[in-house]
Structure 1
Amino acid sequence: MTAAVSPSLYFTRIHHARSAPVRHAFEYRSYSWFFDLDNPPRLPLPLRPFGYFRAEDHLEGPHTGLRDRVEAYLARHGVDGAGRRITALMNARALGYVFDPLTVFWCRDADHRLRCVIAEVHNTYGERHAYLLRTDSAGRAEVDKQFYVSPFNAVDGHYALHLPEPADTLSLRIALLRARQPPFHAAVTGERLPVTPWTVLRAQSRAPLSPWLTAARIRRQGITLWARGIPVVPRPSPTHSYARTNS
């Protein structure tokens, strides 16, 4: 087994754009954590309340560890992830709360080749849904939309995703494609930094209490769209999604 990847922070820019039924775009600064599941970030005690992780915030099952949950998810889809390298890009909890619109896991095989990608989408209703993706050599994949994310987008169409594993830079892109409608675009880009007390403090100054701030920003954008007259799509009863808590 190769050495575990060192944890990193990415100072990010998050961009969303839609062109129908109204034109609306926004961009904001944030940060994300990238790490090997066998080598998660361990912050000094005074900083720990601003960046820690709980397995219960991701995927499904009774397993107590995040690797256990990822391996169980892979096994349900016929993929052996036991002992394989798995890296993750996600948000951490801050003062007891987490909101992570998109969590991505890159899963390798015994020969260290990328086997598959898990893209886990979270909505503001406390639900989440994971997609197993077989990406090509450029990190691209397509999948049917199966989960209610926004009250302004129905559960239809399909996603075109570009999810290469981060290196010195991060560049993730998602387009929601639907019949007779222009696509909705989202992108996350950023630059890698080591996890140190100084970079964690810089991240806090860049996006204070990031999970709280992200959730507030999404709700503010929703109010803006509603005020502009975009019809609300009723939320269906959850079928493929599963709830999480912030307790």
Structure 2
Amino acid sequence: MFLNLDELPRLFGKSWLWSAKRPNLAWFKRDDYFGNPEQSLKTSIEELVLQKTGQLPAGPICLLTNMRYFGYCFNPVSFYYCFKTDGKTLQAIVADITNTPWKERHAYVLDCTKETSINKLQRFNFSKEFHVSPFMPMDIEYDWRFSTPTDQLNVHMRNLRGGSKMFDATMALERKPINSLNLAWVLLAYPFMTLKVIFAIHWQALWLWLKKVPFISHPQKISADHH
């Protein structure tokens, strides 16, 4: 779902199966997202971007996320697109990442005013700061590229180690309007999307383990074992 945070209070009035205020088949639960659940999500993101970049987001903030469906929420990453006042130019992107199985959270704030654009994609190169996969070391450089959301949305992520590519993933999405018909279609077409994502990640982990890919413990556990 690609959601304008300013529209959340009224967005899901289009379907009685969706809600932002109470449990439902599809539920935008504030506790599932970044920051103090007693504070609005937009305010939490605005304060984070201000802290990291020195600039308060001036325009709307849109969230790309996998919501809570049928009581389950599993969100490896949510992206917050912070726009300038024109509502079209990106000011910052926040990648809010949770890891499996530790259920920790870390947010990367990407300043769009400082990065170059290549083939209409915002490109960011930076070092890994947060342990995500037990099959991926910490000495990784990230190469992430984002399109400005329009009718199409693209994200391309590469992990590099010593100049060699270790991981490459692309997400390409096409925008559809949020209306009662499309909201019903999502629940019918993808009724167990969250469980599917959980299964796919654990299946991939099993496949890597069977291939004898080295298992890398959490850095905090490694540090504790050496004390």
In the superposition, the TM-score normalised over structure 1's length comes to 0.75
Aligned to 2:218: 235
**Structure 1 residue 47, shift from structure 2 partner:** 4.2
Counterpart of 1:97 (choices 54, 72, 75) is 72
- How many residue pairs match? The answer is 205
Is the CA contact (8 Å cut-off) linking 1:161 and 1:173 kept in structure 2?
yes
Query: 2:28 — aligned with what?
Result: 53
Bigger RCO (CA 8 Å, 6+ sep): 1
Note if 1:116 corresponds to 2:92: yes
* Separation in structure 1 between the aligned mates of residue 4 and residue 69 of structure 2, nearest angstrom: 20
Cα distance, 1:131–1:197 mapped onto 2, change above 3 Å: same
Report the RMSD for the aligned CA atoms in angstroms: 2.1
Partner letter of residue 56 of structure 2?
Answer: D
Runs of at least 4 residues off by over 4 Å: none
Q: 1:167 to 1:91 in 2, by over 3 A?
A: same
1-structure distance, mates of 2:90, 2:106: 22
Alignment gaps of 5+ in structure 1? 1-32, 239-247
Counterpart of 1:19? none
Aligned to 1:66: 41
CA contact (8 A) 2:47 2:56 kept: no
Quote the residue 1:86 is aligned against: 61
The answer for unaligned runs of 5 or more in structure 2 is 222-227
Q: 1:58: Cα distance to partner?
A: 2.2
- What are the superposed Cα offsets for residues 106-164 of structure 1, whole Å, 9 maximum, x if unpaired? 11234543211111122222112111112334221112111111110011211111112
- The amino acid that maps onto 1:100 is N
Where 2:68 maps in the other structure, the secondary structure is coil
**What's the CA shift string for 1:163-192, capped at 9, x where partnerless?**
123221221110011115433101111222
Structure with more helix by fraction: 2
The letter of the residue matching 1:152 is: F
Residues 35 and 41 of structure 2 are in contact (CA less than 8 Å); yes or no, is this contact kept in structure 1? no
- SS state of the match for residue 92, structure 2? strand
The residue correspondences of 1:162-241 to structure 2 (distance < 5 A) are 162-179=145-162, 181-237=164-220
Whether the 8 Å contact between 1:177 and 1:184 is mirrored in structure 2 is yes
Partner AA of 1:66 in structure 2: L
Query: 2-side partners of 1:133 and 1:169: how far apart?
Result: 20
Q: Distance in 2 between matches of 1:70 and 1:185?
A: 27
Partner of 2:141: 158
Pairing of 1:109-148 with structure 2 (within 5 A): 109-110=84-85, 112=87, 113-124=89-100, 125-135=102-112, 136-137=116-117, 138-148=121-131
Separation in structure 2 between the aligned mates of residue 207 and residue 145 of structure 1, nearest angstrom? 32
Q: Does 1:34 align with 2:19?
A: no
User: For the structure 1 residues 51 and 182, does the alpha-carbon distance in structure 2 shift closer, same or farther, using more than 3 Å as the test?
Assistant: same
Amino acid at match of 2:154: S
